[in-house]
């Protein structure tokens, strides 16, 4: 796996759904000019892409609200401005980011548990599991041994079968946030 490559399937290239992180009715406060466009900062649900969206006129959006941003007819979003780095998020959006990531993981638990079932070595000395915060060689070997016996079915199953493992859901959330911030060489989940 090369840097910034994700281990998940890349069938879908575009996001279909996004979770609102912040809604700026009058655009960014630091923008010059009289015609300020409303802006929405959001997190894409399939690829965890941080996006800047322009809502349709008269639409008011709240954090955690989900919107359709796919190719078809959109009810609330006029167009997608593009990706934005995490450091360009508003304070509100940064605060909501962790909760939005948790929501995506809760809704797709099987997908994220599957990472623990299928993670592979990156090199002779490094395994994908070791890239997760708080997991070292000892946890890696315990996870590999436990999954040989039977694949993990949930985060609870993983915690029950691997003793003294940090909360796997929180570990995945921390890793995703680091990847979104661009602090990681390898992307396991974002992309």
Q: Which domains does the chain have, with CATH numbers?
A: 17-86 (2.40.50.140), 109-180 (1.10.150.280)
State how far the Cα of 105 lies from the Cα of 75, in Å rounded to an integer. Answer: 25
Phi first, then psi: give them for residue 113, nearest 5 degrees.
-70, -35
User: Can you list the alpha helix ranges (DSSP code H) found in 39-154?
Assistant: 91-107, 109-118, 137-149
What is the predicted pLDDT for the residue at 26? 86
The sign of the torsion formed by the CA atoms of 74, 80, 85, 87 equals negative
Q: What's the residue count for the chain?
A: 191
Residue 19 has what pLDDT?
97
182-186: long-range contacts at Cβ-Cβ below 8 A with a sequence spacing of 24 or more? 182/85, 182/86, 184/131, 185/3, 185/4, 186/1, 186/3, 186/4, 186/5, 186/122, 186/128, 186/131
Instruction: Please give the pLDDT value at position 88.
Output: 94
The pLDDT assigned to 108 comes to 95
Question: In the chain, which residues have pLDDT < 50?
Answer: 1-12
pLDDT of residue 13: 63
pTM of the model: 0.86
SS3 state of residue 48: coil
Q: What integer best gives the mean pLDDT of the chain?
A: 89
Distance CA 15, CA 18 (A): 7
Task: Bin 80: left if φ > 0, else alpha if -120 < ψ < 50, else beta.
Answer: beta
Provide the pLDDT for residue 97: 96
């Amino acid at each position: 796996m090369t840097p910034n490559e994700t281990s998940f399937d890349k069938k879908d290239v575009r996001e279909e759904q996004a979770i609102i992180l912040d809604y700026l009715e009058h655009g960014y406060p630091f923008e010059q000019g009289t015609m300020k466009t409303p802006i929405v900062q959001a997190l894409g649900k399939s690829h965890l892409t941080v996006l800047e969206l322009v809502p349709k006129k008269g639409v008011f959006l709240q954090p955690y609200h989900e919107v359709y941003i796919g190719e078809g007819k959109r009810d609330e979003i006029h167009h997608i401005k593009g990706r934005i780095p995490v450091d360009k998020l508003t304070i509100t959006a940064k605060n909501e980011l962790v909760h939005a990531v948790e929501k995506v993981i809760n809704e797709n638990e099987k997908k994220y548990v599957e990472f623990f079932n299928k993670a592979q070595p990156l090199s002779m000395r490094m395994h994908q599991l070791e890239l997760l915060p708080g997991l070292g060689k000892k946890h890696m070997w315990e996870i590999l041994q436990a999954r040989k016996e039977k694949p993990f079915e949930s985060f609870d199953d993983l915690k029950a079968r691997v003793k003294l493992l940090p909360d796997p859901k929180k570990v995945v959330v921390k890793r995703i946030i680091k990847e979104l911030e661009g602090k990681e060489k390898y992307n396991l989940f974002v992309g």
